[in-house]
Amino acid sequence: MADTRIERISILIASLAVVVTLVLVGSARAREAVVPNLFVKYTMACTFTITDDAGATVSSVAPGPYQVYITTPAEFAYVTTPCNGPIRFQLTGPGVNLHTTLQDGDDDQASLSATFQPSSTYIAQDNNQPSVTRSVITTTAAAPATASTTSSTSSSTPTSSSKGSSQPSLVGSAAVPFRGNLAAMISAAGRLTLTSKGKPVGTLKTGLYTFTVHDNSAKSGFSIQKLKSGAIALTGISYKGTHVKTVNLKAGQWTFFSPGEKKNYFIVIA
């Protein structure tokens, strides 16, 4: 009898230890920093504004990693603007040297990565007209701020009806490794791209990924789907704005697409 009681107590203690461990790991995961965004939005005048996740104009930011989105209202290779062709966006400063022409004007969007140093100054400009577009961004000495996983440049919050639908919480996600951030974009014309650190996604490792969807179209949505599984809508057809969602990508063939449109494939490996 005594041995049985001791065995039961041992099992109870072990179970409690597992629960405590999961809670602690889960809490740490909840505090996992989501990389904040900077949105460089061009006008047809070949000028641009730089805003943050809250839609506020940026002049000073916390140091740390950022995802920088550059968009134009059209493909500048085919329209007449003061750029006289493609944009020549440049962002430079300590540890940062970003340049893009948006594929010589054949594209209208790009996603680049930058890590800002503390107490530093960065210059953003379009080299077609640097004196007109020159913008200064300074960094504070404080720790980097993080974007909320529900941040949006739209005043509407995505829902499962007309907006970007939400996925249920991931059960047991504390045991799943966080792999990083993916940039998903929908152009005003409805063209979809999915990139990691500025490069198109081809192969990923299994794990948790944070998708930041910058949706410029009110007629296209962004969904992902594993082969023979249900689709996960990150933004709905009528949603327009920015939505952030973390998804557990399991091994297999995946696609990203707008409902009813062509599917783009990528592979997730164990």
Q: What phi and psi, each to the nearest 5 degrees, are found at residue 8?
A: -65, -40
Rg for the chain (alpha carbons), in Å? 22
* Cα 88 to Cα 126: distance, rounded to the nearest angstrom: 5
Residues 189 and 257 in one domain: yes
The domain boundary, picked from 88, 117, 139, lies at: 139
Q: For position 175, what pLDDT does the model report?
A: 61
Q: For position 162, what pLDDT does the model report?
A: 35
* Cα 84 to Cα 48: distance, rounded to the nearest angstrom: 16
Residues 196 and 252 in one domain: yes
**How is the chain split among helix, strand and coil, in percent rounded to 5?**
15, 40, 45
230 occurs within a structural domain? yes
The residue to which tokens 């009528």 are assigned:
238
Q: For position 2, what pLDDT does the model report?
A: 55
166, exposed or middle or buried, with CB in 10 Å at 0-12, 13-18, 19+?
Answer: middle
User: pTM surpassing 0.85?
Assistant: no
Q: For position 143, what pLDDT does the model report?
A: 58
Residue 54, domain extent: 37-139
Token representation of residue 101: 């022409």
Query: How many C-alpha atoms does 54 have within 13 Å on its Cβ side?
Result: 8
Q: For position 136, what pLDDT does the model report?
A: 96
CA distances from 119 to 7, 27, 56, 94, 230 (A): 59, 31, 21, 10, 47
65 occurs within a structural domain? yes
DSSP three-state, residue 123: strand
Residues 129 and 56 in one domain: yes
Domain count, the chain: 2
166 occurs within a structural domain? no
| Nearest in space to 88 (alpha carbons), one of 34, 36, 133, 122 | 133
Instruction: Output the domain CATH number for residue 120.
Output: 2.60.40.420
Residues 62 and 107 in one domain: yes
**What averages of pLDDT result for each successive group of 10 residues across the chain (270 residues)?**
59 54 47 72 94 90 90 86 92 94 84 90 96 95 53 37 37 63 91 90 91 91 92 89 89 93 93
